[in-house]
A and B are shown apart, each in its own frame.
Chain A
Amino acid sequence: MNSLAAKAVLCTIPLLSSISISLRAQADSSLSGTITGASGKPLASARVSVKNLTTGQSTTAETSATGTYYLSGLAPGDYEISVAALGFDVKTGRMTLAAGGAQTFNATLTASLTPGQETEPSLSDLGFSPSQTKGTPEYQALLDRRSHMLQIHQRLGLITTAPLIATLFTSPGAKGHHGMPGPASGRELHAALGATTAGLYFSSAYFAIRAPKIPGTQAHGPIRVHKALAWIHGPGMILTPILGGIAYSQLSNGERVHGIAKYHSDVAAVTAAAYGAAIISVSIKF
């Protein structure tokens, strides 16, 4: 019998608890309303705060895109209501919430102004942070240095095209005819032009590589193609003179060009093509 009573008590406790919660929910009040600007347009993201004047407990809600808000689970009692929105004066009011009641508090906010500012808005009113609106001479100096170095890179790069084209044109004279070595003057001219091309090319590359990087920027657009092509013409500009030097030596010894030196002109052609494409990639919009 005692065991049965204990079971009954155990079953009754959750039942009573749920009744108590239910009664309390019924006793709680809710508050809703619409917040508008002076023109009558609804204000989105306005903050509605209600403070129970007895307990000091505060609850807040934000208005929707239509300017409406809804606060539930409020204990009956006296409340202080305040409504705030960016760029508007804070509106306050008092209201007594009855047990289980659903009450309405609407408010119309007036646009606020910074004292002494009269009607003219400022950059801070727009929501820009000081770090966004204040520049620094150091940042400008970094941009100036970068642009200056890249301008030298561009100029040297363009100048390089002249000996590069000339080197390509003197190539047949350096090779000789029907596989036989040609005159030494042809080889020497070709080698001199090739050396000039390489010298200018690496000077130009230095300024591109050493130009300062700007923090917070990511490369996009044709400049990515320009940079990617450097992975072809860069190694090509190293390999071409090496192979050319071997070929020069073989021809000077009266030999035919053989071994890896045979690829000198092929590597040079690919290098020149990649170099030309790199210039076009940043010169012509496509």
Chain B
Amino acid sequence: MMKKLSLIVLLLAIPQFARADSQWVLAQSTLTYHVTHPLHEVDGVSKAAKGKGVCHAGQCDFLIAAPVKSFDSGDSNRDLHMLQVTRGGEFPMVVVRTQLPEQDSASADIKADLTIQFAGQTVHYNQVSFHAAKQGNEVHITGTIPATVSDFKIDPPKLLTIPIKNEIPVKVDMAWRQQ
């Protein structure tokens, strides 16, 4: 009888535990990758990222995603080539996940462990630094993800048979709104 009662109490409690305490929504974002080539310095920009953060028991799970084809480097031919080398036809999204303590939203400096799915690979970046600034009802986050083409097993694109540099840092500029 006690077992049954405990089970009923537990079942009733599960939805309450599963309920999020608060949510964050990505209000605005600019993601910029930088490619270096002896003849070129190229920036590819996407403003199409969407993101959500769900906080529960003091921890927030964040998910940010952007279509690979949404990055615009100012030249459609280069963008299509980037889409091809990053296998964007098969893996059309770049997805970033991270988990942060809820109290970090009030900090000016955030160190985040990122899991990035891109080009069919999943790569972890530990302790990536971001700067956070509260602006009205939004938190403005800026930082750079130290990505490289070799991390994602991407064959470096070549121009005039010369490959690009391995480093492709991704600048992040996001505004998050708590709901």
Contact = CB atoms under 8 A, between A and B. Distances in A.
Given A111-B20, A283-B39, 15 more contacts: A38-B20, A39-B178, A39-B179, A120-B97, A121-B52, A121-B63, A125-B52, A133-B92, A135-B90, A140-B84, A146-B84, A158-B160, A217-B80, A220-B74, A221-B77
Contact of B179 (A43, A120, A137): A43
Contacts of A38: 20-22
Contacts of B87: 135, 140
A284 B74 CA distance: 13
B65 interface: yes
B19 A132 contact: no
A115 B56 CA distance: 15
B42 interface: yes
Interface string B49-62: 01111111001011
How big is the B interface, by class? Answer: 35 or more
A37 B59 CA distance: 18
A130 B74 CA distance: 27
A264 B40 CA distance: 36
Contacts of A144: 84, 89
Contacts of B55: 119
B84 A143 contact: yes
Given A37-B23, A39-B22, A123-B65, A135 B52 contact: no
Given A132-B67, A132-B92, A146-B84, A126 B50 contact: yes
Contacts of A23: none
Contacts of B18: 113, 115, 118-119
Contacts of B67: 128, 132
Given A87-B52, A126-B52, A132-B67, A285 B41 contact: yes
B176 to A, nearest CB: 12
B136 to A, nearest CB: 11
Interface string B1-30: 000000000000000001111110000000
B127 interface: no
Contacts of B74: 220-222
Contacts of A115: 18
B20 to A, nearest CB: 4
A143 B18 CA distance: 43
A119 B59 contact: yes
A196 interface: no
Nearest to A155: B161
Contact of B89 (A113, A120, A136, A285): A136
A135 to B, nearest CB: 4
B95 interface: yes
A136 B92 CA distance: 9
Given A111-B19, A119-B55, A285-B40, A126 B65 contact: yes
